[in-house]
Amino acid sequence: MVLRKLVAGNWKMNGSLAALGELAAIREAADRNASVDVAICPPFTLIAAAVASQPGLTIGAQDCHADDKGAHTGCISAVMLREAGAKMVIVGHSERRADQHETDAEVHAKAEAAIRNGQIAIVCVGETEAERDAGRAVAIVEGQLDGSIPRAADGAQLVVAYEPVWAIGTGRTPSVADVAEMHAAIRTKLVSLLGSAGTGVRILYGGSVKPDNARELLSVADVDGALVGGASLTAAQFVPIIEGAAACA
Ligand code: PEP
């Protein structure tokens, strides 16, 4: 099934009120390339200001707590994100799995929280370099999907992002054949977990997507978009990726 492509930018712990100036050109590119969905996920502190500055652009968040409220100092709930205007939430990014020791069970609960609050959960999975070298990449990702994917979700609520850990921020990408093999395996796994709804869940590729490799990666079967880190920080880099996705749509 050909799904509508999604190009989502993950600003990580970058950006400032001044950086929101990039959003006007990104929103214009989203409008020009209406066959593609576009989103930017800035830090929590910029979400409301980003929504206010570009109401026509989809704004997301980079994490949420599994609970809607409570005694969790420093955490942000999906309810709060919804109020701030976030329409999507990235959960289980490998940086959080590593730095905050997030488990599949926690990622699953966070994805449930996002969906419960009317947001699209972007669940990230991906193997380390050692796991790939050991020939375990597909098995690792299948295990993460088993543990992280809410079983009642469908394509309107859930997106999966395949992000090989060794490709994030390194300028390295897997071969087209490796991306194709992994995305096909993820699709098969989603169908086994979700039934026919698994055919409608978009599978993004993430890891060093840049203007010069976006078209090649986005034309692989079952690559339904991209999760973009560094190259989403400026319109100059992000807009050509949106255009690349539109060319493959
Ligand atoms: C990411 O961290 O989600 C990511 C894909 O980063 P980069 O594009 O910088 O590799």
Instruction: Indicate which residue of 127, 142, 163, 183 is catalytic.
Output: 163
Is 173 domain-assigned?
Answer: yes
Ligand 1 centroid to 71 CA: how many Å? 31
User: Does residue 22 fall inside a structural domain?
Assistant: yes
State the pLDDT at residue 10: 98
SS3 (DSSP) at 244: helix
Would you call 93 a catalytic residue per the annotation?
A: yes
What tens digit of pLDDT does each residue of 30-60 get?
999 999 999 999 999 999 999 999 999 999 9
Q: Which of 65, 93, 108, 183 is catalytic?
A: 93
Mean pLDDT across the stretch 130-141? Answer: 98
Residue 137 belongs to some domain of the structure: yes
Which percentage of the chain shows pLDDT scores above 90? 99
CA 174 to chain centre: 18
* pLDDT of res. 1: 82
Query: Among candidates 119, 209, 199, 131, which has minimal Cα distance to 165?
Result: 131
Contact 167, 130 (CB under 8 A): no
Residue 249 has pLDDT above 90, yes or no: no
Residue 249 located in a structural domain: no
Q: What is the pLDDT of residue 189?
A: 98
Which residue range forms the structural domain that includes residue 182? 10-35+42-232
pLDDT of residue 47: 98
CA nearest neighbour of 81 among 97, 63, 96, 107? 63
Residue 247: inside a domain: no
> For atom 7 of ligand 1, which residue has the closest CA?
229
pLDDT at 92: 98
CA of 74 to the centre of ligand 1 (A): 24
**Average predicted confidence (pLDDT) for the chain:** 98
CATH number, residue 123: 3.20.20.70
Residue 237 lies in a domain: no
In a domain, 246, yes or no: no
Task: Write out pLDDT tens, residues 179-225.
Answer: 999 999 999 999 999 999 999 999 999 999 999 999 999 999 999 99
Domain membership flag for residue 238: no
> What pTM was estimated for this model as a whole?
0.98
Specify the 3-state DSSP secondary structure of 228: strand
Measured in Å, residue 213 CA sits from the centre of ligand 1 at 14
How many Cβ atoms are within 10 Å of 143's Cβ, its own excluded?
15
Nearest-CA residue for atom 6 of ligand 1: 229
> Strand 120-125 to strand 88-91: parallel, antiparallel, or no bridges (unpaired)?
parallel
Q: By C-alpha distance, which of 236, 183, 191, 243 is closest to 207?
A: 183
Q: How far apart are CA 98 and CA 109, in angstroms?
A: 17
With cut-offs at 50, 70 and 90, classify the pLDDT of residue 84: very high
* Domains held by the chain: number: 1
